[in-house]
Chain A
Amino acid sequence: MKTRIKDLRKERKLSQEELALAVGTTRQTITSIEVGKYTASLVLAYKIAHYFGLTIEEVFDFSEENEF
């Protein structure tokens, strides 16, 4: 799944470690979400979106998920 997390972090000059600490996860999980290896749960997706002051849809791209 594509996400805007990396861009949002860069905009706010935030490291993966700082974001991980703020949303209650590990740096490795943030890396995996950013590269699309891991799909965050609804709770984690909400925490990340909420941290950036955005909605889940604005951070995570669900367009590819609907394709069969």
Chain B
Amino acid sequence: MEKFRTTVKRRIAISSGMTFIAMVLGGINIYSIIITDHSSATHSDGFVAGFQFGLIVSIFGLAVFDIIKLSLAINDETKLRILYNKEHDERLIAIRNKAGAPMIVITSIMMIIAAIIAGYFNIVVFYTLIVAVAAQLLVSAMVKLYCMKTM
């Protein structure tokens, strides 16, 4: 369990780093929105900027949630054991595998990064990639839900 405690501590540090990065990126994003010449900006420019800001806020929120959850677990032996069991539970691992983890998560992250970059050049590619990510995450969630009910 000590090894897992070290892993949890490392995860808290990573989440803290992500919180800091999200804050910096959020600040840059707000600044760029303020200094943008709104008279020449198109609707698509606003949408891409809004999406990026939403994504940064989501990452910040998830990182903070993770920090709180892990900090509570690290100080309580039972909660730490429950967290460990949940992560190493064979049924949950089987369900996650059936739902496409970890490849769905990896490809989704890569597609979101690609969408953000593509958004600066072609808005149609941006929309296509975002819809594709949403669709694959939806299918994965539905499969997971189905397996949770049947397994």
Instruction: Give me the interface of A with B, judged by CB distance under 8 Å.
Output: 20-21, 24-26, 28-29, 32, 37-38, 40-41, 43-44
Contacts and interface: CB of A to CB of B under 8 A. Distances in A.
B90 A25 contact: yes
Interface string B80-93: 01101110111110
**Looking at chain B, what size class is its interface with the partner chain?**
10 to 19
Contact of A32 (B82, B88, B151): B151
B85 A41 contact: no
Contacts of B91: 25-26, 28-29, 32, 38
B151 A37 contact: yes
B151 A38 contact: yes
A48 B89 CA distance: 14
Nearest to A37: B151
B148 to A, nearest CB: 8
Contacts of A28: 91-92, 148
A53 B128 CA distance: 58
Contacts of A41: 90
Most buried by B among A20, A29, A43: A29
B40 interface: no
Given A32-B151, A37-B150, A38-B151, A21 B90 contact: no
